[in-house]
């Protein structure tokens, strides 16, 4: 059975179409990575799938229930940790999990037991009786994750769970997501981090400006792109000449910045000496050279014409906030 099915899902805010008729399916027990830059439509999609936002077109089903007609059943089956960890700073960690258990309809004794076991699982037992306002960012995310699991949901939605976290905290969250998935929980994870999607997801959907531009396993998506490329960091003023030389060896890729040249090489590492020789003969100084295998960013570039990471730094625009 499919854990999540989406057909032609749409959401408009006035004249702005934030999500433009997307289709996707997520199998039971899968980790699905929903990858895209800020403002692509990730959070809007998650909010529709978690019944926080009504679609303006299309349909979606989660855990066998329609998100509009059977919203309450959907909510009973899902766990959600949204982009902003919505925690009450005056509550303790334990109180929060117990409240969540009550909201999910668990009897008090079961709620207490789940709180204890989840706090231990996310390594917050020591801080359980401290106020959430005293927690670090990583602790808050772990608590939010624990709260989302209190009723053992079959589908877990994580909206950018590691944004803003340090590398150690990020790794901790990844480990927990893997462990959850091993227990059978389907995970729908939105992220703007390539590595996160690459590392965690069984399948990845790439969204840009409200449309899914690519979908598949990380490996299959990268294989589609084709060949690895050589990335050259050049001395100032020599980029144009280097591009001319490299264009005779392989296909040039869109530049990341004004100091690098990216050229696709059919034969991988075997083509490196050829590139070095050509540049040397042209008298072009190279500061560094790297053979780069296709990444999901390359997939993104191939499908949209711009980088996912460059997109972030150029356009920090937020998704339209639901009114």
Partner 1 sequence: MEAAANPPGKALAPPAWRANLATIGALMARAKNELVRVPAAAIPGVLAPTIFFLGLNGVFGALTQLQGFETGSYESFIVPVSMLQGAGFTGAAAGVNLARDYEGGWVDRLLVSPAPRWVLLAGNVLAASARSLIPATFVLAIAFAIGAEWPGLDGLVICYLMVAATAAAAACWGSMLALHFKSQSAAPLMQAGMMALILFTPAYAPLALLQPWLEKVANVNPLTQVLEAARQGFVGGVTWADTWPGLVSIAGLLLLLGSLALREMRRTNV
Interface with partner 1 by CB under 8 A: which residues?
50-54, 72-73, 75-76, 78, 80, 82, 84-88, 90-91, 95, 98-100, 102-110, 113, 117, 120-123, 131, 147, 151-152, 172, 175-176, 179-180, 182-183, 323
Cα angle 152, 155, 156; round to 5: 85
CB of 151 to partner 1, least distance (A): 8
Nearest residue to 1 (alpha-carbon basis) of 28, 29, 30, 31: 28
- Tell me the helices (H) and strands (E) count for the chain, helix number first: 12, 14
CB of 100 to partner 1, least distance (A): 8
Q: Are 22 and 45 in contact, with CB atoms under 8 Å apart?
A: yes
CA 306, 311, 313, 315 dihedral sign is: positive
Pick 175 or 280: Cβ nearer partner 1 = 175
Pick 55 or 218: Cβ nearer partner 1 = 55
Pick 110 or 213: Cβ nearer partner 1 = 110
Q: Are 264 and 229 in contact, with CB atoms under 8 Å apart?
A: yes
CB of 127 to partner 1, least distance (A): 14
Nearest residue to 41 (alpha-carbon basis) of 26, 21, 59: 21
Cα separation of 110 and 230, whole Å? 57
Q: Are 3 and 61 in contact, with CB atoms under 8 Å apart?
A: no
CB of 192 to partner 1, least distance (A): 19
CB of 95 to partner 1, least distance (A): 8
**Residues 6 or more apart in contact with residue 304 via CB below 8 angstroms:** 208, 213
Pick 161 or 228: Cβ nearer partner 1 = 161
Pick 182 or 236: Cβ nearer partner 1 = 182
Across 109-173, where does the E strand assignment appear? 155-159
Pick 154 or 238: Cβ nearer partner 1 = 154
CB of 294 to partner 1, least distance (A): 32
């Amino acid at each position: 059975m499919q854990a999540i099915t989406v057909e032609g899902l749409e959401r408009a805010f006035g004249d702005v179409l934030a999500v433009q008729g997307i289709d996707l399916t997520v199998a039971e027990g899968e980790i699905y990575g929903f990858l895209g830059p800020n403002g692509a439509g990730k959070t809007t999609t998650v909010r529709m799938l978690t019944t926080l936002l009504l679609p303006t077109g299309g349909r979606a089903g989660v855990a066998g229930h329609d998100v509009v007609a059977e919203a309450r059943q959907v909510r009973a089956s899902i766990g959600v940790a949204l982009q902003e960890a919505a925690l009450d700073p005056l509550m303790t960690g334990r109180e929060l999990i117990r409240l969540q258990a009550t909201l999910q309809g668990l009897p008090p004794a079961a709620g207490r037991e789940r709180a204890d076991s989840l706090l231990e699982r996310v390594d917050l037992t020591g801080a359980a009786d401290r106020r959430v306002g005293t927690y670090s960012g990583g602790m808050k995310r772990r608590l939010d994750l624990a709260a989302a699991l209190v009723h053992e949901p079959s589908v877990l939605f994580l909206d950018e769970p590691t944004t803003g976290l340090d590398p150690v905290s990020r790794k901790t969250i990844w480990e927990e997501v893997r462990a959850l998935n091993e227990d059978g929980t389907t995970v729908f994870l939105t992220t703007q981090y390539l590595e996160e999607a690459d590392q965690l997801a069984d399948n990845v959907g790439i969204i840009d400006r409200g449309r899914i531009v690519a979908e598949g396993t990380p490996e299959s998506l990268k294989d589609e792109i084709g060949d690895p490329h050589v990335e050259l960091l050049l001395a100032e003023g020599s980029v144009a000449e280097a591009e001319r030389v490299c264009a005779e060896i392989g296909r040039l890729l869109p530049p990341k910045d004004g100091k690098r040249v990216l050229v696709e090489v059919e034969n991988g590492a075997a083509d490196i000496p050829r590139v070095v020789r050509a540049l040397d003969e042209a008298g072009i100084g190279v500061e560094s050279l790297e053979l780069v295998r296709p990444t999901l960013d390359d997939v993104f570039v191939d499908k949209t014409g711009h980088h996912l990471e460059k997109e972030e730094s150029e356009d920090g625009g937020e998704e339209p906030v639901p009114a």
